[in-house]
Structure 1
Amino acid sequence: MPKGTTLSGGPLVRLRAALPAALHIVRAGEAPTAALALGALMLITAFLAAAFPRGVDAYETRGVRAALSDVPPDQRTVQITAGRTDTTPRSHTPAVLDRQDAALRSQFTAPLRISPADAAHGVRTTAPLPSHDPGLARPDGVDPRFSLYAVSGLARHTAVAQGRLPRPAAPGSPTREAAVTVATARALHLRPGSPLHVGGLALRISGLLTPHAPEGPYWAVDPLVTTPALVSEGTPPQKLWQAGLLLAPEDGPALLSTKGQPERFWRYPLDTGALTAGDAPLLQNRVRSLQRGPGLARLRGVVGPGGLADSAVDGLLDGFARTRDAVAPVVAVAACGIGTVAGVVVLMTGGLAAARRHRELALLRARGASLPGLVGRLAAETATVALPAAGAGYALAVVLVPGERLLTPLLAAAAAGLLGTLALPLRAAAAHRRTRPDVRADLVGGRPSRRRTVVELTVLVLAVAAVLALRRRGTGSGGVDVLVSAAPVLVAVIAALLLMRLYPLPLRLAARPAARTRGLSGFLALARAGRAPAAGLPLLALLVALTTASFGGSVLAGVADARDRAALAAVGADARLTADKPLPRALLSSLTAVPGVQDAVPLRLSTQPADDNGPPLYLVIADADAYARLARATGLGAFDATELADPGGDHPLPALVSAGVRTRFGDAPMVLQPEFGQLVVRPALVRRDTPAQPGGDFVVVDARGVARLHPDTYADPATGPSVVLLAGRSLDPTALRGTIRTHTPAALPTRLALRSTTRAQYADSPLQQGAERLYTAAVAAGAGFALLALLLSLLQTAPERARLLTGLRAIGLPAAQGRRLLVLEALPQALLAALGGTLTGAATLRLLGPGTDLTPLALPTTSGPTGTAPVPLHPDPASLLLPATAVLLLSLATALLQSLIGQRRTQHTERRKEAPTRKEAPN
């Protein structure tokens, strides 16, 4: 550079401006292992942050589609009717109805989409009309009644079995054609050409039709069109047929001449194939608008002032929203836990990098580098790795995880990338805020500052508020409350702060007796544990992860237990065989030979009317010994069989009764009237449940006492057992069904209910399955981040431990004592994390359990005998102990592995030093 040239202009200025960025990239490339580790961590963290909201979208979308598609077609159809009082024939012609149909369809815009192929419109009678024609089926001599339909699209949805489709009546012709389905013709004794007179109209059957997809939306709204119904009316009840007749659309105006109260109708089945969870609120608003809002006004502008819209979609979406709002708070607890652990791990990574570069950064500060300049330089270095990795994680989540939202996952991944970018600069800024000599911050010797005390008290207040809010409102109040969702995390934070304050005390107490022992390992390990820096972030990460794992494991265990109990209450045993008539004796004797069946208890179950006009009583007659054995095996009202022993004579039979029977009738004997005679029973035992009848009021008596009182009628095969309860967790359903088919007459229908099948039905909701899978994934990810936090904390002290081993080896410390020293040094903090995590998890479950309702996650909205009883959260021992034990074992195993690696490195160094000496020995 020529003399006097400065860096104040031209290309030199641009070179100087580009130099820091180039240096940042070069500096990041100097430590490829650290850069790759940071990139991998940010990729995983950003992927999880973006995948979580998309996963929620995915299972909520499956849930809303199932809520609308797993119901009969008439419940997901919008029905529009108009004009029962409109007697203008012109408004009932096909041309007018077609124009109105086109105008109505234009109002169905996304997300209110319809299935055009299954839509229908026309004219129908709403009041059934009798027919007095001879030859029609009359079970009790009552004339059948018909509903008339002039509907569009008939040719597309039927196949002609006999005859032809109805044709429009010729001008001036008094007779019109009508078609019926094959089922209607068979029941009413109709055939092509049969004359009918209905409501003053002369009709002739033109053909018999076979509907395409009779359970589809085109036919399911009016089931009488496809299948006639045999109904009972009057006193005494008399049976009569009701059916539908299909006319040509052009004959719709003719229905005005009848007394069937004709009306115009339009039916639009919804298309749920493209519906998403985000569309559900707007779809519900559109449906409500059609029923009682601006949409209804536009609808009446098309069909007339009498137009009305009706649909069950509004109620179905309400049910979905209630279940989603009840499940969301439980899932949000897992999201808050894994988010906290992931954030702590990212901060720990920045702290580890700051500790590794402590001397470099201290030297820069000593040479005059400003704190903002240092922070900017470090941020630029980490940004070259963290931000591209976060972007890749977001892209991976968008590709791999189905979902609709893009902005929320993008913001979550960007937040993860920003935290990864700023973790090292902020940690370095805190450590090098002032240029002064390093002061060792011992765990035992350190004293908490006032600022830390204020922060701890603030967190304590938030934690108490969160716990009180959760216990008062619960998770079933609907919607996600951030404070309530963060309650387990806040409790874990308080526990970590408390343990950090209490941890030095046992170290001081244990160091005194260790100083008087002969061995070196114990005293040195405790001294080094006390001189270690306060491990706030690692302990916080472990406690939050262990608390989240304990909470999540208890949630999953509670869900599984609730489904098991609900299935057992619904079936009464592992399998239940029921028939309307007594079962064959050959079948009863062969059931015990079915593979996997451990016990088979036949019983008689009958319903007895109550004298107090209350609910009926369920009388259960079974062998007391076998029934008591089954009750103990199932856990449903276990009792001692000897308490039901027959006292003999004219004494009432002792009975096992429900609490409701005891409350209603007291302890006095009661008279029952089964089909074989009178029974006098007295309550001897009271239980809440019993296998034969888990719900309702029941009375259980011993079959031997009944047989003694009624030896003739009770032994009659016509009054034999009609119910068999089977016990056996490993029973073979296929073999059981085969045995039932072999030993049961074809005329005797039977019903087999399996506990396993019933339990699976409680978990078939996509909303529940998706939330459960997402919760399991969150707990697993939280456990992975916790293990990573443990490894990072051990890596941070690994260089210092390696130097210690080398020094102790140089002064003659045996290798076994070196390994023992490192294990004993890691033991206090490992015990602190494991024991603290277990106690914190147990305390969290005790505090938050009463406010956590697992019913929406565990069971459907209607769960049979279990009703709507809430499913509380209880501590699960395995979820409390297994994660803490894994942390303890992993910590000790890592310390042991580190000592072995250090020992091998020391031996390798000693061999290299001894090698020249061996070569010079011959001289």
Structure 2
Amino acid sequence: MRILLLARVHLGTVAVLFVLTLSACLLVAGLPRAMQASYDEALRRALGAAPAVQTDLTVTVESRSPDEDLRERTQFDSRDSLWREIVPPDLRPLLPRTGHMSAKTTLTPITGTSGQSYINLGWLSDAAERVEWVQGRVPGAPATTRYEGETIPVFEVGISEEALPEMGLRVGESKTVGENDYAVVKIVGAFRAKDPGARYWSHNSELLHVTKLQPPGQLDFEKHITTLMSDAGLSALSGAGRNLSYRWVLPLDATAATALGAPDLRAAVSEFDRVVALQSTGSASPYHLETGLPKLLDDFLAGLSTAQTVMYLVLGGLLAVALGVIVLAVHLLADRLDHTLSLTRARGGALRQVAGAAAALTGLAVVPAALAGYALSFLVPGPVLPIVHAGPLLVVLVAVGFAAARTVAAHRTPLHERRDDVAAARPSAKRVTLELLVVVLALAGAYLLRARGLTASTGQDPFLLLVPIALTLAAALITLRCYPYPLRLLVRLTARGRAAVPFLGLTRAARARSASVLPVLILLPALGVSVFAAVVSDGIASTQRLASWQRAGAPIKVTSEIEIPAAAIDQVRALAGVRRVVLAQTGRVQVGYGAERAEAIAVDVARWRELLGGAPVGLPALSDGALVSPELRGRGTFEIGWQSRLKLATRGVIASVPGFYGKGKFLVVPIGVQVRPAVNTLLIDGDASLTGALERLVPSATVVSQERILHDIQDDPLTSTVRWTLVVVTAALAAYALIAVILSLVIGAADRARALSFLRTLGLSDRQAQRLTVLEILPMILVTALAGLGLGLGLPAALGPGVDLSSYAGDLPVGDYALDPFLPSALAAGLAAVAVLGAYAHIAIGRRRSLGAVLRVGDLT
């Protein structure tokens, strides 16, 4: 059989099949690559945004005796080489050769300060590259001196420029440290970091800044600073009388991390921790690994698992719908070939020959299209996953396999004519039982999923992936089985009327051939998944907005650790674009007369409520007393210490204060209770573009805006990937749904033209023919649209705790799945419009045909 000739004869259908296959293969191969690339970017950004002390691998050991002391740099270097040799292979690409080592003491008090001030000793292997000396000189070798009849070491050290005034020290001064094993610290210079914002200083922040700690039950703060000594100082530094620890920092290169390798990376860190501990054999001080990388990876994998689950659901639905539409196109092509293949069979053609011809013609259309879609997918950046290869192959196999199978089923017997337009075949008991089992299992699965949640914190739960498929299949079966019954009721009602068109149109719809109801299996998942995607996308968007307001508390928030001068506040009010300014004071207050503390904010609540306006957050009204957190409830009237002693009556309990507190002990009081409020917070209603000007007017403050916070939440790679994928899938599914309606119209065109030709011989007008065609097509589309809408709205509720989208919504749970009615209305209206236009186009085309071109000799006798 001449395949190329058949392709030219049926060029239109072959072209449609080519385009559908090309689009399906491009989507199924390109979208996973783009998604995986965004997963990799999300992991790299998460690791890059975390402090280096969390991502880097730090091997630590404490020195407890002179035998365990490291006196020379070479001793540090040899151990650094050892750690790099025993690093597991999965970790090595992420660990560059750069790194640093350190030796530091902790809790070294200044003698005579009763434990209120501490000067610790520190050594950094690369200090010369990291700091610049601004006062004095570089520390030199240690010396000795006599103190209380004993010889003690004198360490020459440098101290950060910032710490000098805060600790009350000066260059050239010496301090005795220790309580039993004394030493003298001689400050010979002051330094500052060459790049204070470098990730490096996350490991050594105690050298740059004074650490303030408040011991339990005390009002005063302890002050700690770590100084910097030379390599020569190691010779006199011992852990025998001090809390001395050594560290080897192996920095992590986040740019080399991939989402696919994250589980292996997590396992490699555990293995490295194990082999590091083995190096402690025979030593009283064990080596151990310090890193927050496993926690970061676990958090990422948990968010990734949710993203992959949502993506699997929508992409699986997209693939199923795309395959369904391609099957419809193959069905159309097979119908076009039916006459040719029937003649071939009648003339002695073998069944294998006609099936091979149909498969070859289908392959001629889909194989080049699949190859083109597969090739185009490589223009999408991202790693090549197995689905990139398997997806196009699956599309080709389904299309060619369906073409061969349908031809075999249709032409097993030569010239065997079938009629299935008279009455629907009664399903067998086995088939009904199987369909009921599917429905029951789907409902039971949805119930169990909500009841038990997920079985694992990370990874894919097969139950979560199977339940939506079962629900979709159950909804499709119910729709197929039930939609003829209301139509038959309408048929009985229209049979009592005088008009024939409603009766005939609804009767044909109720007795639709299997090819006519096949689009239900495509339209229902297409509408269901697209509505589900729209619901999830809208839920994420609304929760992101809520999270941004909860973090900001105002359109613009200005916070400072010190009081904001009145002159600066006046300048802020006069700034162009500022519409309203609400003053507030925040601080930590004493509750009662004991050691209990709570966070507090004094503010004009009424004006703050007006400033929030239509925001999704707010506070109850408050004129006196206090609003308290759940931890402070039930106290009635209580007293706090804040500038002065204040007695406050509890006026309400609130779970959070937008922009400030979300957990712990906190309270909100009217700003008028303060004798002289020390304003350190400004809540501003103004344009987000004012943040730069506000930072210049109040240099001591931190300025944040609700719009900027919302942008940061939405800019997260995982979040943006989930949302744009949902948008792309929704658009693709809507297009496939419309194509399915068009193909269903074309597939039934011949049978419909024949029926209308019969009726035209009885006097059916063109207008009546149009109405009859619309009544035949619209019921199936409308019923399927309603079923798909119900499925899409029900899937988020059915999945329940199985899909935690808080990672993409500012860490707030996404539970308000309110749907904008525009999308389902637009989809239903679009499908109905296509059906109506198709009906009118069909009648317009059929009007040009004569009855003799449609009816055969003897059809009217």
What TM-score range do you get, normalising by the shorter chain? 0.7 to 0.9
Amino acid at match of 1:213: D
Once the two structures are superposed, the pairs formed by residues 131-142 of structure 1 within 5 Å of their partners are none
Q: Aligned match of 2:517 in 516, 536, 550?
A: 536
Partner of 2:460: 480
Supply the distance in 1 between the matched residues of 2:446 and 2:128 (Cα, whole angstroms): 64
Q: Indicate conservation of the 8 Å contact 1:849/1:872, yes or no.
A: no
Q: Indicate conservation of the 8 Å contact 1:852/1:873, yes or no.
A: no
RMSD of equivalent CA atoms: 4.8
Q: Aligned match of 1:354 in 330, 334, 340?
A: 334
Partner of 1:290: 272
Q: Aligned match of 1:47 in 19, 23, 26?
A: 26
Which secondary structure does the structure 2 equivalent of 1:276 belong to?
coil
In structure 2, do the counterparts of structure 1 residues 73 and 443 end up closer, same or farther at CA, with 3 Å as the change threshold?
farther
> Within the alignment, does 1:274 sit opposite 2:256 as a pair?
yes
In structure 2, do the counterparts of structure 1 residues 146 and 844 end up closer, same or farther at CA, with 3 Å as the change threshold?
closer
Cα deviation for residue 433 of structure 1 reads 3.7
**Unpaired runs of at least 5, structure 2:** 145-152, 854-861
Partner of 2:314: 334
Supply the distance in 2 between the matched residues of 1:607 and 1:206 (Cα, whole angstroms): 38
In structure 2, do the counterparts of structure 1 residues 247 and 609 end up closer, same or farther at CA, with 3 Å as the change threshold?
closer
Q: Indicate conservation of the 8 Å contact 1:852/1:872, yes or no.
A: no
Higher mean displacement: 750-759 or 195-204: 195-204
Which secondary structure does the structure 2 equivalent of 1:214 belong to?
coil
Cα deviation for residue 543 of structure 1 reads 0.9
Which secondary structure does the structure 2 equivalent of 1:265 belong to?
strand
Partner of 2:806: 856
Which secondary structure does the structure 2 equivalent of 1:890 belong to?
helix
Q: Indicate conservation of the 8 Å contact 1:632/1:638, yes or no.
A: no
Partner of 1:733: 688
Supply the distance in 2 between the matched residues of 1:680 and 1:130 (Cα, whole angstroms): 41
Q: Aligned match of 2:126 in 150, 153, 168?
A: 153
Partner of 2:834: 890
Supply the distance in 2 between the matched residues of 1:161 and 1:458 (Cα, whole angstroms): 80
Supply the distance in 1 between the matched residues of 2:637 and 2:72 (Cα, whole angstroms): 72
Partner of 1:649: none
What is the TM-score normalised by the length of structure 1?
Answer: 0.77
> Within the alignment, does 1:793 sit opposite 2:744 as a pair?
yes
Partner of 1:772: 723
Cα deviation for residue 359 of structure 1 reads 1.8
Cα deviation for residue 42 of structure 1 reads 1.9
Supply the distance in 2 between the matched residues of 1:217 and 1:553 (Cα, whole angstroms): 40
Cα deviation for residue 827 of structure 1 reads 2.5
Q: Aligned match of 2:371 in 388, 391, 411?
A: 391
Partner of 1:493: 473
> Within the alignment, does 1:81 sit opposite 2:60 as a pair?
yes
Amino acid at match of 1:255: L
Cα deviation for residue 854 of structure 1 reads 4.0
Amino acid at match of 1:777: V
Cα deviation for residue 250 of structure 1 reads 5.0
Once the two structures are superposed, the pairs formed by residues 366-445 of structure 1 within 5 Å of their partners are 366-403=346-383, 405-435=384-414, 437-442=416-421, 445=424
Cα deviation for residue 771 of structure 1 reads 2.5
Supply the distance in 2 between the matched residues of 1:417 and 1:719 (Cα, whole angstroms): 74
Amino acid at match of 1:428: T
In structure 2, do the counterparts of structure 1 residues 169 and 24 end up closer, same or farther at CA, with 3 Å as the change threshold?
farther
Amino acid at match of 1:156: E
Q: Indicate conservation of the 8 Å contact 1:118/1:218, yes or no.
A: no
Supply the distance in 1 between the matched residues of 2:784 and 2:564 (Cα, whole angstroms): 63
Q: Aligned match of 2:714 in 735, 750, 763?
A: 763
Cα deviation for residue 240 of structure 1 reads 6.9
Supply the distance in 2 between the matched residues of 1:390 and 1:883 (Cα, whole angstroms): 28
Once the two structures are superposed, the pairs formed by residues 746-757 of structure 1 within 5 Å of their partners are 753-757=704-708
Supply the distance in 1 between the matched residues of 2:211 and 2:656 (Cα, whole angstroms): 40
Deviation readout 1:679-708 (Å, 9 max, x if unpaired): 77585x8887887988579988999xx8xx
Deviation readout 1:591-628 (Å, 9 max, x if unpaired): 6996595x77667889886679999696877476x677
Which secondary structure does the structure 2 equivalent of 1:246 belong to?
coil
Supply the distance in 2 between the matched residues of 1:515 and 1:169 (Cα, whole angstroms): 110
Partner of 2:294: 314
Partner of 1:915: none
Deviation readout 1:703-746 (Å, 9 max, x if unpaired): 9xx8xxxxxx88x7x3498766666xxx52335875x689x7x5
Higher mean displacement: 883-892 or 364-373: 364-373
Q: Indicate conservation of the 8 Å contact 1:470/1:852, yes or no.
A: yes
Q: Indicate conservation of the 8 Å contact 1:354/1:428, yes or no.
A: yes
Supply the distance in 1 between the matched residues of 2:720 and 2:836 (Cα, whole angstroms): 37
Supply the distance in 2 between the matched residues of 1:221 and 1:525 (Cα, whole angstroms): 78
Cα deviation for residue 546 of structure 1 reads 0.9
Q: Indicate conservation of the 8 Å contact 2:557/2:704, yes or no.
A: yes
Amino acid at match of 1:220: S
> Within the alignment, does 1:830 sit opposite 2:803 as a pair?
no
Amino acid at match of 1:92: R
**Unpaired runs of at least 5, structure 1:** 1-19, 133-137, 646-652, 707-712, 864-868, 911-923
Amino acid at match of 1:460: V
In structure 2, do the counterparts of structure 1 residues 492 and 608 end up closer, same or farther at CA, with 3 Å as the change threshold?
same
Q: Indicate conservation of the 8 Å contact 2:314/2:533, yes or no.
A: yes
Partner of 1:253: 235
Cα deviation for residue 509 of structure 1 reads 3.4
In structure 2, do the counterparts of structure 1 residues 585 and 431 end up closer, same or farther at CA, with 3 Å as the change threshold?
farther
> Within the alignment, does 1:556 sit opposite 2:507 as a pair?
no
Partner of 1:220: 202
What is the TM-score normalised by the length of structure 2?
Answer: 0.82
Amino acid at match of 2:689: T
Partner of 1:463: 442
Cα deviation for residue 567 of structure 1 reads 3.0
Supply the distance in 2 between the matched residues of 1:799 and 1:49 (Cα, whole angstroms): 33
In structure 2, do the counterparts of structure 1 residues 249 and 608 end up closer, same or farther at CA, with 3 Å as the change threshold?
closer
Which secondary structure does the structure 2 equivalent of 1:399 belong to?
coil
Cα deviation for residue 348 of structure 1 reads 1.4
Partner of 2:502: 522
In structure 2, do the counterparts of structure 1 residues 897 and 411 end up closer, same or farther at CA, with 3 Å as the change threshold?
same
Cα deviation for residue 485 of structure 1 reads 2.4
In structure 2, do the counterparts of structure 1 residues 115 and 575 end up closer, same or farther at CA, with 3 Å as the change threshold?
same
Supply the distance in 1 between the matched residues of 2:557 and 2:660 (Cα, whole angstroms): 11
Q: Indicate conservation of the 8 Å contact 2:536/2:796, yes or no.
A: no
Q: Indicate conservation of the 8 Å contact 1:330/1:475, yes or no.
A: no
Q: Indicate conservation of the 8 Å contact 1:161/1:210, yes or no.
A: yes
In structure 2, do the counterparts of structure 1 residues 532 and 596 end up closer, same or farther at CA, with 3 Å as the change threshold?
farther
Amino acid at match of 1:147: N
Amino acid at match of 1:327: A
Q: How many residues align?
A: 837
Amino acid at match of 1:282: D
Supply the distance in 2 between the matched residues of 1:130 and 1:661 (Cα, whole angstroms): 36
Partner of 2:426: 447
Cα deviation for residue 69 of structure 1 reads 1.2
Q: Tell me the percent identity.
A: 24
Supply the distance in 2 between the matched residues of 1:674 and 1:305 (Cα, whole angstroms): 47
In structure 2, do the counterparts of structure 1 residues 842 and 361 end up closer, same or farther at CA, with 3 Å as the change threshold?
same
Deviation readout 1:109-157 (Å, 9 max, x if unpaired): 44344554640125x232354667xxxxx9x898964433443333333
Partner of 1:505: 485
Supply the distance in 1 between the matched residues of 2:478 and 2:226 (Cα, whole angstroms): 77
Supply the distance in 1 between the matched residues of 2:530 and 2:137 (Cα, whole angstroms): 68
Partner of 2:857: none
Supply the distance in 2 between the matched residues of 1:695 and 1:470 (Cα, whole angstroms): 30
Supply the distance in 2 between the matched residues of 1:423 and 1:472 (Cα, whole angstroms): 40
